[in-house]
């Protein structure tokens, strides 16, 4: 939670709900079976009565999370780039933009974010499909 939050009590309630920390065993079972979703609690993946456990889904998901979860963002701007790309993709999904326009707009916003973050100098073209564009314009593949 942000230290400057004006609604800390409500935020803690949401965190408790979203992470399932305030649920007892029966509530967790209902959440997993009726809600059809996963839990933020590791223990939820080991409840043998759940369908997800019985069919072997939960052990596989838990292993995938162990392999891919990161403890902190890879870069400071990670949340912002996820919002930029996610928003534009959603606009394409709902038909508010063509896929090309959404991707073009996302690329433009990402370029501005990368310049603002100091990853590339202003005016340096972002050339694809190279993975990196060096400040001198050379590409590293």
Measured between alpha carbons, how far is 14 from 9 in angstroms, rounded to an integer? 9
pLDDT band, residue 83 (cuts 50/70/90)? very high
Q: Which of 20-29, 92-101, 132-141 has the highest mean pLDDT?
A: 92-101
Percent of the chain with pLDDT over 90: 21
pTM summary value: 0.44
What CA–CA distances, in Å, run from 54 to 26, 32, 62, 105?
Answer: 17, 12, 14, 44
Query: DSSP alpha helices (H): ranges in 40-129?
Result: 51-54, 57-68, 78-93, 99-116
The domain limits of the chain are: 8-68, 78-140
pLDDT of residue 133: 54
Mean predicted lDDT score pLDDT of the chain: 81
Question: What per-residue string of b and e applies to 9-33 under the rule 16 or more CB within 10 Å gives b?
Answer: eeeeeeeeeeebeebeeeebeebbe
Average pLDDT over residues 22-44: 79
Q: What is the pLDDT of residue 20?
A: 78
Rounded mean pLDDT of 65-84?
80
Q: How many other C-beta atoms lie within 10 A of the C-beta of residue 131? A: 8
**Distance of CA 62 to CAs 1, 15, 75, 93, Å?**
25, 21, 25, 29
Residue 31 CA to residue 70 CA, distance in Å, equals 25
Position with higher pLDDT, 39 vs 131: 39
């Amino acid at each position: 939670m942000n230290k400057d939050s004006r609604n800390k009590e409500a935020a803690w309630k949401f965190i408790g709900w979203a992470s399932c920390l305030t649920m007892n065993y029966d509530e967790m079972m209902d959440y997993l079976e009726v809600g059809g979703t996963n839990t933020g609690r590791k223990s939820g993946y080991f409840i043998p009565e759940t369908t997800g456990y019985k069919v072997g889904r939960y052990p596989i998901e838990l292993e995938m999370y162990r392999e891919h979860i990161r403890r902190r963002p890879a870069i400071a701007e990670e949340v912002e780039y996820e919002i930029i790309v996610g928003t534009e993709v959603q606009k394409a999904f709902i038909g508010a933009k063509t896929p090309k326009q959404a991707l073009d707009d996302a690329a433009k916003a990402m370029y501005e974010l990368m310049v603002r973050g100091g990853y590339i100098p202003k005016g340096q073209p972002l050339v694809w499909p190279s993975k990196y564009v060096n400040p001198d314009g050379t590409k590293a593949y």
